[in-house]
Amino acid sequence: MANASQCLEEGAGQWPPRPPGPYSEAQRLALEELVAGGPEALR
């Protein structure tokens, strides 16, 4: 387990955290379809 000073050193420059990219329902649905379809869905 890291002590507090190690955590502060490792996390330097990471605050505030970057917000996640924009959410895309269309991309999520496409990925879900690819995963559900297996390798054949990629063809």
24: nearest Cα among 32, 13, 34, 12 = 32
What burial letters (b/e) apply to 3-40, b meaning 16+ CB within 10 Å? eeeeeeeeeeeeeeeeeeeeeeeeeeeeeeeeeeeeee
pTM: predicted TM-score of the whole model, two decimal places: 0.42
* Residue-wise pLDDT tens digits, 1-43: 556 666 656 555 667 777 778 889 998 998 898 899 887 877 7
C-alpha span between 26 and 34 (Å, rounded): 12
Q: What's the CA gap between 8 and 22, in Å, rounded?
A: 29
